[in-house]
Amino acid sequence: MPKQLITYEHYQESEWNTFLPDEADPVKGAQDIIQTAYESYGDSLVYACSFGAESMVLIDLISKVKPNAKLVFLDTDLHFQETYDLIDRVKEKYPSLQIEMKRPELTLEEQSEQHGSALWRRNPDQCCYIRKIKPLEDVLNGATAWISGLRREQSPSRANTQFFNKDNRFKSVKVCPLIYWTHDDVWNYIKSNDLPYNPLHDQNYPSIGCIPCTNPVEQGGDERAGRWANFKKTECGLHTT
Ligand code: SF4
């Protein structure tokens, strides 16, 4: 496993993804990736945290490697109260973590004035750009790498995700320690370690984002079926080029 700092400009997928942790031991694999990422990128590594189920796993694993790690939550002003409450619980459990609540330049009122009300109903891509993508661009300006909780089994668009990805969208390296984790792996880790999590997960919300764009999913349904349910859109744009 290479330990030297690798940057977006010098990214060589063939070099950085030859080390594949044992798929039968996803916890150890993720810990190895997290350790290597912090050894390589240090304080230049940012975790863009959604506070979903995968986030609870990553927060716990990261806190063991880098107790004062920098986390960023893209606060669109449109999240469920349960999500904000969960963030408070995480701050209590992991007081050393640095959690930044990154908000868009436009308030909801300003967005309505400039683009019309309920932009998410007419043009969710533009709404996501204003409230999520541009803020993350600002956060990652100067950061060498960022961490994401993507898992390969979540959707076909995520099936080829590597541990270290050349991220052309944000001109950085995207580190994804959980690519081999299954849904059951995530929840076994949460339960066995008694981690906090969003109570909406127990009310048929497997994937939780902004209130207007998140619906519950039928038991056994696709994990991401409740996101932007009335559109062809399946990703907010953070993970597409
Ligand atoms: Fe807007 Fe919906 Fe995207 Fe949230 S998820 S930023 S409400 S379009």
Residue 2 lies in a domain: no
pLDDT band per the 50, 70, 90 thresholds, residue 227: low
* Position 21 in a domain: no
The pLDDT score that the predictor gives to residue 150 is: 94
* 21-30, 46-55, 202-211, 225-234, range with the lowest pLDDT: 225-234
Catalytic residue among 120, 236, 238, 239: 236
Q: Which of 236, 238, 239, 240 to mutate to test the pocket of ligand 1 (most atoms within 8 A of CB)?
A: 236
Q: How far apart are CA 63 and CA 215, in angstroms?
A: 31
Sheet of 70-74: strands edge to edge? 98-102, 70-74, 45-48, 145-147, 172-175, 164-167
pLDDT band at 20 (very low <50, low <70, confident <90, very high): low
Whether residue 235 is contained in a domain is answered as: no
Which of 23-27, 31-35, 107-111 shows the lowest mean pLDDT across its residues?
23-27
Query: Is there a catalytic annotation at residue 49?
Result: no
pTM exceeding 0.80: yes
Alpha-carbon distance 136 to 39, whole Å?
Answer: 23
Q: Which residue owns the Cα nearest ligand 1 atom 4?
A: 210
227 falls within a domain:
no
Q: What is the pLDDT of residue 28?
A: 72
Domain containing residue 183 = 26-213
Least confident of 12-16, 105-109, 175-179, 206-210: 12-16
Give the residues across from 164 on adjacent strands: 175
- Residue 61 within any structural domain of the chain: yes
Residue 99 lies in a domain: yes
Read off the CATH number of the domain in which 122 is found: 3.40.50.620
Q: Considering its fold, how many domains does the chain have in total?
A: 1
Q: Convert the pLDDT of each residue in 63-99 to its tens digit.
A: 999 999 999 999 999 999 999 999 999 999 999 999 9
Say yes or no: ipTM exceeds 0.95.
Answer: yes
> What does the alpha-carbon distance between residue 127 and residue 187 come to, in Å, rounded to a whole number?
31
Rg (the chain; Cα; Å): 17
Residue 223 lies in a domain: no
CA-to-CA dists, residue 86 to 30, 46, 49, 91, 104, angstroms: 23, 20, 12, 9, 21
Per-residue pLDDT tens over the stretch 105-147:
999 999 999 999 999 999 999 999 999 999 999 999 878 899 9
Backbone angles phi, psi at 131, to 5 degrees: -100, -15
Indicate whether 62 belongs to any domain.
yes
Instruction: Evaluate: CB of 227 within 6 angstroms of ligand 1.
Output: no
